[in-house]
Amino acid sequence: MSRLEEQVNVAVPAQEVWAQLHRIDEYPMFMEGVKSAAAHGSSRAHLDVRIGDDEQAFETRIADRGKGQVMDWTVDSPELKAAFAVNPLDDKHTQLQVRLEYDPDTVRATFGGPKGFAQVHAIEDTVRTDLEKFKDLLESRH
């Protein structure tokens, strides 16, 4: 498994970051390739994703831990694990940390794309861009 860790500082309180993570239906507003998303109760979500010409549907399991501090995501196919940690910096600023674990070969087989380091860089760029969109979305509402 490969691991990617990124973070972004957002000029909103931690509770707002936490609430936005749980607005599953708004994921298409900041996640590249996500065309639609819907929560199924508090522990599952369905995402329709388009990468290039390929469309995929994913069922995810969601678990909250740490009393409003960490949201875990698990996707079985392709095997992906993500953790979103919400860390208050002060009353008006929050750091969102993302840790993503994935199998590069499985991701490539599912979504296509480049091999090796080029794929790693493409995934890193996507995560960074999504975090910036997340930040912009929250700060524009505040």
Tens digit of pLDDT at every position of the chain (142 positions):
889 999 999 999 999 999 999 999 999 999 999 999 999 988 999 999 987 778 889 999 999 998 879 999 999 877 889 999 999 999 999 999 999 998 877 777 777 666 666 667 777 888 999 999 999 999 999 8
Q: CA–CA distance from 113 to each of 1, 88, 116, 126, 134 (Å)? A: 18, 36, 10, 13, 24
| pLDDT in the model for residue 68 | 74
Number of domains in the chain: 1
Question: Tell me, what DSSP letter sits at residue 24?
Answer: G
CA Rg, the chain, in Å? 15
What is the amino acid identity at position 95?
Q
Give residue 35's domain range: 2-141
- Both tokens assigned to 66: 């740490």
| pLDDT in the model for residue 55 | 87
Estimate to the nearest angstrom the gap between the alpha carbon of 75 and the chain centroid. Answer: 12
Burial 89-119 (b: 16+ CB within 10 A, else e): eeeeebebebbbebebeebeebbeeeeeeeb
**CATH code assigned at 12:** 3.30.530.20
